[in-house]
Every structure is written in structure tokens, then in C-alpha cells.
Structure 1
Amino acid sequence: MGDRVSGMDWLPFLRTWSEEWIDALEPEEAEVFPQSVRAAGWLGFEPAGEERIRALEERLAQPLPPSYRSFLAVSDGWRNVGEFIYALGSTEQVGRFHESSPQWCRILLGLEEDEHFRAVFGRAVQISLEGDAAVLLLDPGEVDADGEWTAYFHASWTGDAPRRYAGFAALMRNEYRSFHRLRKPDNATSRAWEARIEEARVACLAGAVDEPLAVFEEGSAFGRFRAELLRFQLHALLGGSVEAKRAFATIVRGEQDDPARRVLIGRELVPAFGALDRGERRPALARSIFERELDELRERFDGAAPNDGGPKGPWADVLAQARASAESGAGDAAWRTVLAGLVHWQPLGPDHIAPVALLGDPVLGPLCTPERGRELLGIARAGR
């Protein structure tokens, strides 16, 4: 079920979301819904008939985007779209933003300097009702080849520009992911994601790269912490520093109770993170602040296990031999030594899929270009 499919099969998607949402609520939260809603496990309403949908189109003086139109044919409105939107309007409640929320629209137009967003606010259709100072908009001024209108989520408290989506279906799929990311429910969907992530981890250790990374990215969007650990390692080796940094920020804020994960973070991920901006020129003050942050991370995670100075055994011998070659100026030979010796590498735990600490090695790290990182990841490794 793709984000941009105009003919999206809404009923099973909405039914799953409804049941998972109601099941995840605390008792006092569930009380805001009528008993009939809780019993039915359905956050929606009766379908909007064709007559109501056409009446809305006539009022707006243009056809509705297909994915939104088909949604209304399943449910005329909706309760709780994620954590920050408390209701979608019915066909009788939807209207132009400047008419539905005139004061808010005027404030945004007065504050917004970007001409694109000024135009969006002026012509957008508001499809949400109540929210946490947040609103959902559809932009009839930006229509794709399928007739889908660009969709926006905007919340005044973010301080950011409105978040853009390819259409209504994409927005709803994102809000569903956001529900999982924020609530972290234990249900069939979350367990299915853990199974998919495990399959992708095994495939990655067998030498696959792009397909597992796609799974880890989507698993991250669903709030699966393991996906963050795994995608950081791939992005770091592939040169995706921006995505790696985002994953790392989530990791160091996340679940820290697992000793094996703490060891992995301290010994492998922190050194790799420190090397993501290798070669970037920073002002002296910025560099000193960054180094202090790294020292704090090392101190925070080094206590997870005895600090034994790094790899031991055959893999340590491989690295020592490669360093000697690199220091003598034979960088290509050093890298071939690393690749040939990868058979001796052993993961620190079930979330460790590559020797990313290489990136933080002052001698070998500079040799690990994104191309070489992909080459390394294409070699089958231990841990499968």
C-alpha cells in the first residue's frame, strides 16, 4: 500500500489503525471516546455518500484529490489523526483555511516571509478540526499527475515550516507511523516490523545493502529502536552523514538498558559518529565543543563493559597489519588487507552488522570512503 496510491484500500488500513489506537490508550484517555466507538474499535464515522462528496466539491469549486475522495467514501471525518490532530472534519465541516480559521490564517500570513507558504495558506483547504495548535491542509494549487493535492501538517509550536507530503494518503500513512513512533504499542504491526528488521539484518550480513537499508529506514519511521542502530551503521559506512547523525541522536536518547547495546554504542558507534565530519573545517570553539561532547559520550558508554582497549585476536592482527601498510603509504594495500581479513571480524552483539569503529581509526578511517564502505558491506560477515 504505497503512500501515493489514489485508489488506496482505506478500510483495512483504517480498521487496523483504529483497533491499534484504541488498544494503546490509557483508560482515562479512552474515556474521551463514546462506548460505542470503543466497543466497535472504529475511530471513523459513516461513509459520506456521493451526494455529500459532490456538494463539497461544488462548494470548493473543484474536484477533490482521489485519495481524499476515496477516504470520505469510507468515513466522513475521523477521530484522532496521530497525537496532535484530534479530528478530521466531515464533508460539511471542511473548508478554505482562511474561512475555517480566519484569525490563525491572518496571523500566519502576517508572520510568514516565504512567498510559497503565504500562497499555500491563502488558498489551502483545511481538513482538520481540533488539534494541539496544529492543522492539516490540502493545497489545490499544487496538483500532481494523479490529481493528488500536496498535503501539509503545520503546528505553531514546532518553529518550522509546514511539513509537506505528496498527498492525503501520504500524510495519513505518516501519521500512522508517527503513532507507532510515539506510542510504541506492542501489537501485531510492531512485532511484524521486528521480524522484518531481523530478516533484513541477516540479509545485510550476507552482503545485501540497499534492500536492508530500505527496511531499516521504514522501521525507523515506525519507531523501532533496533532499526536506528542498524541504519546508523549502514549510513555511516556509505557516507550518509546527515542520516547517520539523525539516527545517532535517536540512539543516544533511546533505550539504554541493554548492556550489549551499550557496549555497541560505546565501542563502535561513538567512534564512528566522531568521524562523520572528518575533513570538515570547524571554528576552534565549535571543534572544542564537539570534542567535549564526544568525551562525554565516551564516558557515558565506556562504563557499560570493561574497557579492554578494542578488538582482540585475529581481527586485531588484521587491523595492525593494515595500519602498518597505511602508515607506509600503501593505502590500497591496507584496504585490501582489511577486506581479506573481514572473515575474522566478530560482532559485539545481535545489533552489530559491520565494523563501523574503523571510521574512527585515525589511520584506517580516512581510507574508508563511501565506495569502500559499500565494498565492505558487500562481503558476507559473521553473525548470520
Structure 2
Amino acid sequence: MGDRVSGMEWLPFLRTWSEEWIDALEPEEAEVFPQSARAAGWLGYAPAGEERIRALEERLAQPLPPSYRSFLAISNGWRNVGEFIYALGSTEQVGPFRELSSQWCRILLESEDDEHFRAVFGRALQISLEGDAAVLLLDPGEVDADGEWTAYFHASWTGDVPRRYAGFAALMRNEYRSFHRLRKPDNATSRALEVRIEEARVACLAGAVDEPLAVFEQGSAFGRLRAELLRFQLHALLGGSVEAKRAFATIVRGEQDDPARRALIGRELVPAFGALDRDQRRPALAQSIFERELDELRERFGGAAIGDGDPDGPWAEVLAQARTAAEAGAGDAAWRMVLGGLPHWRPLGPDHLAPVALLGDPVLGPLCTPERGRELLGLTRASR
């Protein structure tokens, strides 16, 4: 299901979500989850019917956005939208945010500095009922050419502005991905995605770039750790500093027990991460904090320092010769040596796509521009 849906296109998506959610319930959750929903394998309810949908539109004095309207025609409400919204309301239960959550809305209107969001809070339709201090909103003031209303997820505990989505379907698709990110279910969807990630990894080692990166991005959205490891390497070499940092934050947030992955992180990813802000001018205090964070990461993942990740053997010799050329001012020749010697490079493990530690090399790192990074990734590389 894409972000534009109509009619019965909702049904297979919602059926899959329902079955996966119910299958992933912990025993204590299953005990209190409605037996009727578990037996039916369905998080939804009966269809709203055209009469009830029209009654809602008359109450709101405007037509509903197409994706939300077609959803109601399949299920008049919904249980457990992601991990932080416990229920979507029925056609009779939804209403203006300023009425359904009047106290919260008033606080937001008084405290919000952004005029745009004050307007959104004042006019938005609240479609969720219960949540973890969180709410789902549809904004009738932002309507696209297809009649879709901009959708928002807002939680008081984020300390940030509401998260924006192109419409109701896009919001629901994200909440389904959020379920996968947080629950990490082992099901047909997650297993199929792991197969696609492996196929993309093989294609990337054969010189493909954009198509594998798109698969890794999808895997990241579904919370697959391997996808984060792989996409960090591509973004780092392609100059995508922001996305690389996001991937790196996810990678180091959890425990890494696999020795090959720990070696990859310590010897390759940490040096590359340290170089992502090479051109950024930081105040002395900020730079000191950043260096301390790097030292902690090196210690956590084996004590690898920037530039010391070169393995022994022919690849190390290639890099040594390239450094000599670069130090003599022959940067272009040095880079050609790196590319020419790439057949000697060997990955540290099955998640290693390219020699990203080059970015952290004090001599060769500055030569590795995003254009050259793409050039390197376009060459066939050893898989083991």
C-alpha cells in the first residue's frame, strides 16, 4: 500500500498489520487484549457505512480526505496505532482537537510560538482517542490537490513540534513501520525485508549504489539494524552527513555482541563518524565534548583510533603508497592509487561494504569527496 489509497486497497494492509500485531503481543498483553479481536485477527471494527461517513462530513461542514474516508469505509475506528496511540475514534467519536482535548489544546495555543502550529491546533480534527500523552490530527487547513489533509502526530513528551505527514495514509504507513521498529517482530514481513537487504548488499558490492541505498533506507524505517550499518557506510561516503549521523546514533545506541560487527564499528565506522564534521567550525568546548565522545566510542568498540584501522597486507601497502603521494601534493594520483588497489581490500565481515575508515585518515580522508566516494562505490569490491 502506498501513501495514496482508496477503496479496498486498505484491506490487505490492515489485515497484515492486524495479524502481525496480535501475533507480537506479549503474554500479559494478550490476557487483556479483546478476545473478539484476537479471534478475528482484526484490530479494526465494522465498516462505517456511507450514511455515517456523510453524517461526519456534514458535522464538519466539509468532505473528508480521500484516504481517511476510504479507511472508515473499511473500519470505523482502530485499535493500537503504533505503540503510543491506543485507539482511533469512530465517525461519532472524532471531532475538533480544541473540543475533544480542550485543556491540552489551550495550553498549546498559549505556549506555542509558531503561528503555523497555533493555527493547526486551533482547527485540527482529532482522530485518536487514547494515547500515551499523544494525539493524531488531520488539518483541514492544509489540503493538497488530491484532497488529502496534512496529518500530524504530536506527543507532549517529545519536546518538539508535531511530526508532519502528507496525509492519513502516510501517517498510518509510518505507524506500521514504527510497530516494526519498536517491537522487532519475527514475521513474514521482517524476513522478506532481510532477504531484500541481503540482495541489496550483494548488488552494492557489485557496484550498484542508489537502488541498494533505497532498500537500506526502507530497512532502517522498519528498524532493521543491519540496514543501519549498511546505509551508514553509503551515506558517509556519499557526503550524507545528517543521515549518516542518524544511522550511527541508532547503531551505537544498542549493544553489539557480534565480534565482526564490533570490529566493523570500532575500526571503520567510528573513524568515519569522527570525520563527518571535518569542515565544521566548533567552539572549543563543543569540540572538546565531541573528542571525548569519540574517545568513549573507541574504548567501547575496541580502542580503535582514527586512522589505525588499516589491516595488514596488500591493502595496507596501497594506502601507505597513496599517503606518500598525497603528502607530496599529488592528490589525484593518490586517489587513483586507492581505486587501483581496491581489489586488495577485504571486508571485516558480512556487513562491511567499503573502506569507510578512509574518511578518518588524516592524509587520505580529505581526498575522499562525495563524488570520489560514489566513484569508489561504483567499483566491484570483494565480498569476503
**Match runs of 1:34-183 below 5 Å:** 34-183=34-183
Identity %: 90
Deviations 1:108-132 (A, max 9, x none): 1111110000000111000000001
Distance 1:184 1:148 in 2: 31
Q: Which amino acid aligns with 2:263?
A: V
Report the AA paired with residue 292 of structure 1.
Answer: R
Structure 1 counterpart of 2:369: 369
How many angstroms apart in 2 are the aligned matches of 1:117 and 1:280? 32
Offset of 1:162 from its aligned partner? 0.3
Cα distance, 1:90–1:309 mapped onto 2, change above 3 Å? closer
Q: Look up the SS of the partner of 2:372 in the other structure.
A: helix
Once the 2 structures are TM-superposed, how far is the Cα of residue 372 of structure 1 from its aligned partner? Answer: 0.5
Partner of 1:263: 263
In structure 1, how many angstroms separate the alpha carbons of the residues matched to 2:7 and 2:275? 46
Question: For residue 29 of structure 2, what is the aligned residue in structure 1?
Answer: 29
Shift in Å at residue 4 of structure 1?
3.3
The range that moved more, 1-10 or 328-337, is: 1-10
In 1, Cα distance between equivalents of 2:375 and 2:131? 48
Paired with 2:303 and 2:272, the residues of 1 have a C-alpha distance of 18
Q: 1:191-230 residue pairs with structure 2 within 5 A?
A: 191-230=191-230
1:186 aligns with 2:186: yes
CA distance in structure 2 between the partners assigned to 1:214 and 1:7 by the alignment: 28
Show structure 1 runs of 5+ residues with no match: none
Deviation at 1:177, TM superposition (A): 0.3
- The secondary structure found in structure 1 opposite 2:263 is helix
Aligned residue number for residue 18 of structure 1: 18
Q: 1:308-328: CA deviations, max 9, x gaps?
A: 863111111110111111000
- Contact preservation (8 Å) 2:267, 2:308: no
Q: Which letter maps to 1:114?
A: D
Question: In the alignment, does 2:292 pair up with 1:292?
Answer: yes
Letter matched to residue 177 of structure 2: R
- State the shift of 1:7 in Å: 5.5
SS at match of 2:55: helix
Q: What does 1:333-372 align with in structure 2 at a 5 Å threshold?
A: 333-372=333-372
Q: Which amino acid aligns with 1:148?
A: E
- Deviation of the 1:292 alpha carbon: 1.2
> Could you say which residue in structure 2 is the equivalent of 1:3?
3
Q: Distance in 1 between matches of 2:320 and 2:148?
A: 57
Distance 2:61 2:308 in 1: 71
Structure 1: distance between partners of 2:6 and 2:214: 23
C-alpha distance in 1 between matches for 2:291 and 2:8: 49
In structure 2, what is the Cα distance between the partners aligned to 1:240 and 1:234? 8
Identify unmatched segments of 5+ residues in structure 2. none
Residues 308 and 234 of structure 1: CA distance in aligned 2, closer, same or farther (over 3 Å): closer
Query: How far apart, CA to CA, are the structure 1 residues paired with 2:269 and 2:234?
Result: 11
TM-score of the pair, normalised by structure 1: 0.97
Is contact 1:7-1:66 (8 Å) kept?
A: no
Q: Is 2:322 aligned against 1:322?
A: yes
Letter in 2 for 1:137: L
CA contact (8 A) 2:86 2:129 kept: yes
1:254 deviates by 2.1
Q: After alignment, is 231-240 or 253-262 more displaced?
A: 253-262
Size of the alignment, in residue pairs?
382
Q: Aligned equivalents of 1:277 and 1:27: distance in 2?
A: 46
Structure 1 139/249 Cα, relative in aligned 2: closer, same or farther at 3 Å?
same
CA distance in 2, matches of 1:65, 1:26: 35
Amino acid at match of 1:88: L
Distance 1:104 1:340 in 2: 62
C-alpha distance in structure 2 between counterparts of 1:94 and 1:100, whole Å? 8
Which SS does the other structure have where 2:71 is aligned? helix
Structure 1 counterpart of 2:127, one-letter code = I
What SS class does the counterpart of residue 182 from structure 1 fall into? Answer: helix
CA pair 6-141 structure 1, distance change in 2 beyond 3 A: farther
Contact kept, 8 Å, 1:4 with 1:166, in 2: the verdict is: no
Rounded Cα–Cα distance in structure 1 between residues aligned with 2:124 and 2:330 = 61
Distance in 2 (CA, whole Å) between partners of 1:75 and 1:122 is 27
Q: Does the aligned pair in 2 maintain the 1:6–1:169 contact within 8 Å?
A: no
Alignment CA distance shift 1:358-1:309 (3 Å): closer
Q: Which moved more, 1:353-362 or 1:311-320?
A: 311-320
Deviation at 1:35, TM superposition (A): 1.1
Which deviations, in whole Å up to 9, do the C-alpha atoms of 1:242-295 show, x marking residues without a partner? 110110010001240111100000000000000000021111111111111111
- When normalised by structure 2's length, the TM-score is 0.97
Amino acid at match of 1:11: L
What corresponds to 2:248 in structure 1? 248
Conserved 8 A contact 1:205-1:383: yes
Counterpart CA distance in 1 for 2:25 and 2:48 is: 27
Contact kept? 2:268, 2:309, Cα under 8 Å: no
2:294 maps to a residue whose letter is L
How much has 1:33 moved relative to structure 2?
A: 2.1
Call closer, same or farther: CA 1:362–1:95 in 2, change over 3 Å. Answer: same
Structure-1 separation of matches of 2:20 and 2:267: 38
Alpha-carbon offset, residue 41 of structure 1 = 1.0
- Superposed CA deviations along residues 59-85 of structure 1, whole A, max 9, x for unmatched, are 000000000000000000000001100
